[in-house]
Amino acid sequence: MTKQELTARDKGYCQTYYYKSIQERKCVSCPKPAMPGILKCKKHRDYGLAFAKKYRAARKAAGLCTVCKKPAKKAWRGRMMCLKHRNLYLQRAKEAAAKNMALGLCRRCKSPAKQDRTMCQKHLDEVTAYNKKVALKRKNKN
Ligand SMILES: [Zn+2]
Ligand SMILES: [Zn+2]
Ligand SMILES: [Zn+2]
């Protein structure tokens, strides 16, 4: 067998194993049953999550954007992002909100929005409570 043939065979084997795992609802990294909705057992899911967390924490500590590794200076909403990715994130959130609003859905959670409002009751209450808190803070300052 040539090197190329070997690579193709290995690839085929990996794919077969992968699809077999999915069909049998087994973890793709070990023979244990996979958790519903994901392709990993609890151990391997936790392993993946811990790795992602550690990776993000390391980036954050180093002051690097979690998306592109460029210097980000400071965390924003608990995430380390450079200006470019922060703007992209904001833009996507804005677009998603506009889409929801056009469909008459809450711009925060996609539940049906209250009539003539852009948010569901739960989020309207949340915003009202938040505004009250801010107003109270301002009042206490003066
Ligand atoms: Zn596993
Ligand atoms: Zn970035
Ligand atoms: Zn909502």
Share of the chain above pLDDT 70, in %: 93
pLDDT category of residue 116 using cuts at 50, 70 and 90: confident
Distance from the alpha carbon of residue 105 to the mean position of ligand 3, in angstroms: 8
Distance from the alpha carbon of residue 71 to the mean position of ligand 3, in angstroms: 34
Q: Does the pTM of the predicted model rise above 0.75?
A: no
**Confidence at residue 14, expressed as pLDDT on a 0 to 100 scale:** 65
Q: Are 133 and 125 in contact (CB under 8 A)?
A: no
Distance from the alpha carbon of residue 118 to the mean position of ligand 3, in angstroms: 9
Cα–Cα distance between 59 and 53 in angstroms, integer? 10
